[in-house]
Chain A
Amino acid sequence: MPDTPRDRSRPSPPAPSSVTPHPAGSQLSTFASVRRLYPFVRPAVPRLIAGFLSALGASLAALAIPRVLQAMVEGPLADSIDSHDVGTLVGPVLLVLGLGLLEGGLILLRRNLVMYPGTRVEAVMRMALFRHLQDLPVAFHDRWPGGQLLSRIMGDLGLLRRWLIFGLLQLVVSAITIVVGVGILLATAGWLGLVYLAGAIPVTIIVFRFSRRYRVIARLSQDQSGDLATTVEESVHGIRVLKAFGRGRDALESFTGQAEELRRTEIRKAGSQATITTSLQLIPELTLAVCLVLGVLLAADGQMTVGTLVAFFMTTAVINGPVVDLGMTLSMTLNARTAVDRYFEVMETPNRVADPAHPVEAPTPRGHVALSDVTFGYEDAARPVLEHVDLELPAGTTTALVGLTGSGKSTLALLVPRIFDVTAGAVELDGVDVRRLRRADVRARVAVAFEDPTLFSASVRENVLLGVADTLPAAEREARLHEALDVAQARFAYDLPDGVDTRIGEEGLSLSGGQRQRLALARAIASRPPVLVLDDPLAALDVATEEAVTARLREVLAATTSLVIAHRPSTVALADRVAVLQDGRITAVGTHSALLATDAHYRHVISSLEQDWARSERPVETDLANRPGTDRPSTKEAAL
């Protein structure tokens, strides 16, 4: 953030739009775009129609009341003034009261009819998006900034809800009022009606142009809101870094720049809306001015009765309101449309790591894993990370994967549980290509401890038992929990304020890196998978803890097929054999000592720092070297 690791000059569409070459729906007409909502809205249609009818009824009642008042007072009431008959009042009062109650009742009805479907549609769409996001592969989430997704699932869906509840109804009511009103004008007022209708030509053109322009700005503003949310998210997730370097001010500056950009977009949007507001108010009024002069002339000429003229203007008065509102309703609709586009952009992202249409029933797990001729490259990367990798993990063995930072070890490991899918070649689990299995089946057989231990806002118990079936008896689950904590040397959990029920994660107690890593390890162990993938599982542990974990882990790994990513000899010690990954290829497989003897690259990657000590000229070195009992030569021997 400081100094904006974000290209401010980027024209507009957000990062994700580069992901989907044709942002879903941007080329559709507004109607076609919004029509995609139909499957979600369908159950609500009867209520929406009923709500629409209530709205119509309420407006009719509202329109009738003044007429009735006037007619009643000037008619029956005036007639009975001389008779002083109070009884004549009852009828008119009851009628007005009745109409009044009807209007209020219909508004109440409309609101009740519409609010359920409105919120229901929103909730259903939100869950659908959430489900899809959980279904989409990690590669998708790596590309899409969090704020963009958040702004879709909260902001855009909120927009849609409001549109469904207010905008859509108003749009329909306005449109119908205008069409019916203009129809009446044409039928009754002849020339005047035509003049008024002529005003519709510039209005249509302006509305059309406005829609096109506004849509682009609305989209831009929603995307920028998403980017802003991303920046907020990063500024909070990266708060330690920002604080450590005292970059709060730079972050603020960069955030302000972005927020300022959003402000400008919003003001542009308002400018566009101001134009349409002015046009929609001005043009009908101008045509009315023409009509007024023309009408007066016609009436004076006797070609038109004064009554017709009065009726004409009373009707236009009814139409003008909806015409002016149209600007508002239209922008609301266009905003909703953009929201729909943005929503479906994610919803229509195909899942490239999906379950097969006809999944193969997973065989009884033995835990045999084979990577054959595997190539993997990230979608937008020029060079593949892994090329023609062949690696077999025989059931029950432990293989250490060793290679330089960035050589593709973690990527390779994530191919096994299908977090990523191979670009070419195949990963087989017990002889079946993992792509032919259900993801849930694969992942039930393969547990991972990631290098970044992700803990959720939940108790230690829930975090550790994350991969353990809920159907397991409670006692068994407890036993798993204790065993896993024991093996991972995470017994500190018992000493937390509420023991294993202490809430940890973002909303709970913060733990040290080492503690988190041990819990992540415990989590992988607890699910007792046939295949275990451990990504540098001991990195954050101190030597004593590491030793303890190693000792216990060996027992666990004895019966499990495991792939352990290792940076250090102490971690390699867990393994029966070692595979060396260099520049995206497996260059050697063998035992630790054999590889040390034969493989120069392996020696380079794994050999201890002792040589460096020797090369160093620091006095410490000499101290250590002269220290009695220092077995440098022997370590060196071992290293070679």
Chain B
Amino acid sequence: MTTTADPHSGGLRRRPTDATADDATRLDKATSRAVRSRSLRLLGDLLRPRTRALALAGVLVVVATLGQVAGPWLVALAIDDAVPAVTDGRPTTLVAVGAAYLVAAVVGGLCAGAYVRAAARIAQGVLLELRRRVFRHTQRLSLEFHESYTSGRIISRQTSDLEALRELLDGGLTGVVSSLLLMVFTGASLFLLDWRSGLVLAAALVPAWLLTRWFQHRSQLYYREQRTASARLIVKFVETMTGMRAVQAFRREATTEAEYNRLGEEYRDANLRIFSVNGRYQPGLVLIGNVTVAVALAVGGWRALEGTLEVGVLVAALLYVKRFFQPIQQLGMFYNALQSAVAALEKVSGLLAEEPTVVEPRNPVPLPHARGELRLDHVTFRYGAGPVVLPDLDLRIPAGQTVALVGSTGAGKSTLAKLVTRFYDATEGRVLLDGTDVRDLSTPDLRRAVVMVTQEAYLFSGSVRENIALGRPDASQAEIEAAARAVGAHDFILAMPEGYDTDVNKRGGRVSAGQRQLLSFARAFLADPAVLVLDEATSSLDLPGERLVQHGLQTLLADRTAIIIAHRLSTVAIADRVLVMEHGRVVEDGPPGDLAAGDGRFAALHTAWRDSLV
């Protein structure tokens, strides 16, 4: 789904920082229509490549239905014709009917089974495709988006929203075909038999249509509410489970439970509203059908009494009318599933319609071997519409230089790091790597050249080895071990129960914060980038660990560009150059020794730090 600017969807385009817009359910008419058509487009988009499979499934279900319908007809034939024939000593009819029954049973049964298989294959193919799309898209979306959309919401898009689509596809996107066919056949037969009774049937379609319209409006709204309520419930759940330590330590169980209960009740209410609107729609359809039968009986009966309609025809006509409405329940169920899936796809397509604010270049400039020269060319930066964080930063970092960024919180150090690594794009000005605007580099080239290690060293479930190999997936065991050795992680890894194969468990539960940072350092060693950005990457290390990392860094950084953000000035010692930042500006710039010897901010910081070492 690459839909971008739909002229009508103006209302939909939201800043990614606005997660509440995602929860909106009562949309104005134009927006509602746009959202809906976006969702249907996505559905069509997913089904189109499977037209043939869908057609085949349709055929299978029709044949299966025919097989089932053929049974009673053959039974009637047997009783009416075969019994007298056998009595007369002519068994051929019985043999023929019996054989036909067998064939109908076998064909019908096999087709019914084949249909189940075919439908599942379609449903699963569509789901896999959509799962991939959503996953790929969320990975593509910029950090700016992720910082507000919440993981829970993405998870709910990937789980419960897709479940709704699956119900539609499993529940008989093609099963509807046989229902419709049956209705068309029955209706046509009725018209051929007695067109006046046919008109009664046609008249019944008016209230049925009105009821369906009512249902459509209601259920659309309620299904939207349900999707939103479910997402909220998931967001709350994910957040609570992720922060369980804090919840328990601060005895927030009761409060959290009350909150979760409130959301759970909202979800239940949404479900109830759906059940109740659907619980009126379905019996409503049945009722319309039954009333039509009564009306047809009254009209037909009157005509029979008048002598304008034969009684035999009346019986047949009435049975046709009755039969016409039999599949309508199934159609109603299908329509309900469709409404549910479309509401879910509204959310999913909304996520897919989010444009990354950091865009991949159309014609990337290749950069196979970066040297690591950085230049910030009059860069201005602000987060969204927020205040300017970096006003006009102009900076040149030669290849191979190690630069330490120093300054208080909010001075813009991390922002600078995020610009260099292109987590964000500069509002004005350019960031150049080896003379090329980073916006012109392909993601693989850029990520190979520039790597950042952050303070929060996230570990994925899996083994220690796999977590380090994230730095370079094709690395050999020897290379992985070398990286671990370089940062001093090798020993503690070997001390773990299964060494490099030890599972780090959920969120690295068994590894201390310091060890996690070491592992994340090892990743960076392994990645071997031209530019390395360290954002508070050593804050949780103990001093011996930090010492080891410092040693490692000295070798590692010898031939590459590095930007180090650290509160500990010990790290600064290995820098060639220190930049002291304040309010987004560089206020001091020079080798650490020179700055420390001067009387500026760095000198003051340096003195304070030395005092703190005692």
Contact = CB atoms under 8 A, between A and B. Distances in A.
Interface in A239-253: 239-252
B460 A238 contact: yes
A196 B507 CA distance: 59
Interface in A267-301: 267, 269-271, 273-275, 277-279, 281-282, 285-286, 288-289, 292-293, 295-297, 299-300
A201 B168 CA distance: 34
Nearest to B315: A73
Contact of A154 (B83, B127, B234): B234
Interface stretch (B2-10, B157-165, B195-203, B361-369): B157-165
Interface of A is mostly: helix
A639 B543 CA distance: 13
A151 interface: yes
B605 A544 contact: yes
Contacts of B457: 241
A143 interface: yes
Given A300-B87, A624-B593, A609 B230 contact: no
Interface in B78-123: 78-79, 82-84, 86-87, 94, 97-98, 101-102, 104-106, 108-110, 112-117, 119-121, 123
Contact of B249 (A5, A155, A285, A419): A419
Nearest to B504: A5
Contacts of A616: 554, 573-574
Contacts of A582: none
A50 interface: no
Contacts of B504: 5
B53 interface: no
Given A252-B136, A609-B546, A115 B470 contact: no
26 contacts: A2-B466, A2-B473, A5-B462, A6-B461, A66-B322, A69-B297, A73-B314, A97-B290, A232-B154, A234-B460, A234-B461, A237-B458, A239-B139, A239-B143, A244-B423, A249-B444, A278-B109, A292-B97, A306-B83, A405-B518, A406-B512, A419-B245, A466-B246, A543-B608, A604-B544, A631-B610
Given A447-B250, A628-B597, A296 B79 contact: yes
B612 A570 contact: yes
Nearest to B613: A608
A623 B567 contact: no
A288 B239 CA distance: 58
Interface size class of A (residues with CB under 8 A): 35 or more
Cβ-closest 3 pairs across A and B: A5-B462, A246-B447, A100-B290
A317 interface: yes
A486 interface: no
A126 B237 CA distance: 11
Contact of A285 (B108, B123, B124): B108
B470 to A, nearest CB: 5
A515 B135 contact: no
B51 interface: no
A514 B567 contact: yes
A398 interface: no
A294 B97 CA distance: 12
A289 B507 CA distance: 62
Contacts of A236: 138, 146, 151, 154-155
A536 B513 contact: yes
Interface in A147-187: 147, 149-151, 153-155, 158, 161, 165
A100 B293 contact: yes
Nearest to B506: A145
Interface stretch (A106-114, A358-366, A476-484): A106-114
Interface of B is mostly: helix
Contacts of B587: none
Interface string B242-272: 1111111111110111001100110110011
Contact of A150 (B159, B518, B594): B159
Contacts of A609: 543, 546-547, 550, 570, 573
A134 B443 contact: no
B24 to A, nearest CB: 15
A271 B574 contact: no
A472 interface: no
B135 A274 contact: no
A300 B83 contact: yes
A277 B116 CA distance: 8
Contacts of B241: 133, 141, 146, 149-150
B209 interface: no
Interface in B508-552: 509-515, 518, 520, 523, 527, 536, 539-547, 550-551
A300 B85 CA distance: 8
Contacts of B239: 456-457, 505-506
A444 B251 contact: yes
A265 to B, nearest CB: 9
Contacts of A289: 98, 101-102, 105
Given A77-B304, A252-B136, A457-B150, A237 B242 contact: yes
Given A111-B283, A235-B139, A623-B593, A84 B306 contact: yes
B46 to A, nearest CB: 14
A260 B238 CA distance: 25
Contact of A292 (B98, B448, B605): B98
Nearest to B311: A78
B390 to A, nearest CB: 15
Given A130-B257, A618-B574, A248 B139 contact: yes
A96 B293 contact: yes
Nearest to B157: A232
Contact of B305 (A85, A122, A547): A85
A405 B79 contact: no
Nearest to B594: A623
A204 B555 CA distance: 73
A116 B269 CA distance: 10
A93 B275 contact: no
B159 A620 contact: no
Contacts of B148: 507
Contacts of A570: 612-613
Interface in B186-222: none
Given A81-B307, A236-B155, A138 B244 contact: yes
A4 to B, nearest CB: 6
Given A269-B120, A507-B150, 11 more contacts: A70-B319, A101-B287, A104-B287, A116-B272, A127-B261, A259-B127, A263-B127, A404-B545, A451-B540, A609-B550, A620-B576
B518 to A, nearest CB: 7
B147 interface: yes
B543 A5 contact: no
Nearest to A383: B497
B74 interface: yes
A241 B457 CA distance: 8
B613 A256 contact: no
Given A242-B139, A277-B116, A286-B102, A100 B294 contact: yes
A539 interface: yes
A89 B543 contact: no
Contacts of A320: 68, 71
A540 B540 CA distance: 8
A12 interface: no
Contacts of A587: none
Contacts of B143: 239-240, 243
Contact of A405 (B97, B135, B541): B541
Interface string A92-104: 1100110111011
A112 B281 CA distance: 12
B302 A86 contact: yes
Contacts of B119: 270
B251 A134 contact: no
A42 interface: no
B19 interface: yes
A241 B470 contact: yes
A623 B409 contact: no
B264 A123 contact: yes
B55 interface: no
Contacts of B110: 278, 282
